[in-house]
Amino acid sequence: MSKLAGKTAIITGAARGIGAAAARLFAAEGANLMLADLLAEPLKALAAEIGPQAATCITDVTDEASVRNLVEQAMARFGQVDVALLNAGIEGALAHPTEYDTATFDKVIAVNVRGVFLGLKYVMKAMEANGGSIVITSSTAGIRGVPGMSAYIASKHAAIGLMRSAAMDGAPNKIRVNTVNPSPIDTAMMASLENMHGVAGRNDRPLAKATPLGRYGEPEEVARMMLFLASEDSSFCTGGVYMVDGGVSGGRR
């Protein structure tokens, strides 16, 4: 039987990368989908690719009314919310704290922290009656430091803190909450980070070689962990930090 048959999943940051990979996998496993992003055209194309089980909602995860509308739209369309993948995120800039632009810092925190908080606020309310599973995208940056990325590091640590608190608050209503923590994944965000580090376009991909497995992960590899946490295969898992990192959290090569 399909792992998400009869379930409805909200996915933020769904237009590309990990979010899009999760959308395709969740759809293949029988889920109805409410796909959310600010990138209207790729979001529309993804929904068309998936078919009638996918709906879209242009959503600014930093705006409370927008997030509330997303959950209301999911409830109106499908009648329930069983799974939420709070995946929207941005990388910010690469700079020493003394040189980091304050407006950029605020934007990273708004998307990566406030966006998760607002998702939890409205999704947990929708799940109170029947329970559900919430999966938050953190990062290996949520458990360690990286030079020059103070906003991103702070935001991904905060995402884990929000998850741990929400897991305790949600448990009485059978709402499970976990994070998935990828290492560098071969997405547009990784291309942006390569550009920041001045290694974009290099065939040797030095940032990939810093991973013990010697490569970037693929979005589909992260999506498979998300599917595990979204499904009843993980029915006794809540409050957990799940690494999908090619060995990065165990040490460097």
Record the tokens describing residue 105, joined without a space. Answer: 């810092």
Record the tokens describing residue 26, joined without a space. Answer: 């969740």
Q: Write the CA distances from 111 to 84, 100, 163, 176, 188, integer angstroms.
A: 16, 17, 16, 22, 17
Q: Please, are residues 207 and 199 in contact by the beta-carbon 8 Å criterion?
A: yes
Q: Write the CA distances from 196 to 62, 81, 181, 200, 248, integer angstroms.
A: 25, 38, 21, 8, 20
For 252, phi then psi, to 5°, come to -90, 155
Record the tokens describing residue 144, joined without a space. Answer: 């360690």
Which residues are marked as active site? 152
Residue type, 25: L
The CB density around residue 14, as the number of other CB atoms within 10 Å, is 32
CA distance 88 to 15: 10
Closest CA to 113 of 155, 176, 85, 173: 155
